Copies of this chain bind each other. A is one copy, B any other.
């Protein structure tokens, strides 16, 4: 029974990816087996390269394959603005927006007494040190609009203090293309409070 074991263990590993279950992992592996040279071998080698080289950027916490991430390494992005995000996924989402030209600080989570995640775990002292060292003029808190996200935002704002740089947060309102009928009450009332002249 040697022949099948490697394939089964590959299916088992693929099934641990988000968005793939046992059935779709099987289908994906079958697809790979049909395209062994064209897709499977390049994918395996790309994955091995990234697994070996990827590391957390020591400055901002972004994941990258360089010594520092390409955002921290880019002198054009020393704009004096730091965008604080919870997660690398949020950083990637911000980058897809192509609107922010400064640098980031990835918390890697939110404050949580239950999970014993305090300011140290989130690198908040390191953020404060960066703000002074990099002469930051504005800190943009791009945290999720959840209770934990907003608690963390308030903590960071207090830690920076009134003597520090300007602190802003993302606007809350109706998403582009959003239909009022499908929006939750909280978003509608936030959008109404933040209304602007037309």
On A, residues with C-beta under 8 Å from B are 1-7, 9-10, 13-14, 16-20, 24, 26-34, 36-37, 39-54, 63-66, 68-70, 73, 88-89, 92
Contact = CB atoms under 8 A, between A and B. Distances in A.
A24 B7 CA distance: 23
Contacts of A45: 44, 48
Contacts of A54: 6-7, 33, 36
A73 B19 contact: no
Question: Which residue among A20, A32, A47 has the maximum number of chain B CB atoms within 10 Å of its CB?
Answer: A47
Contacts of A48: 41, 44-45, 48
A53 B6 contact: yes
B70 A1 contact: yes
B32 A2 contact: no
Given A4-B64, A7-B65, A33-B63, 11 more contacts: A2-B66, A6-B53, A6-B54, A17-B32, A19-B20, A33-B88, A34-B88, A36-B51, A40-B51, A44-B47, A44-B48
B36 A28 contact: no
Contacts of A43: 10, 13-14, 47
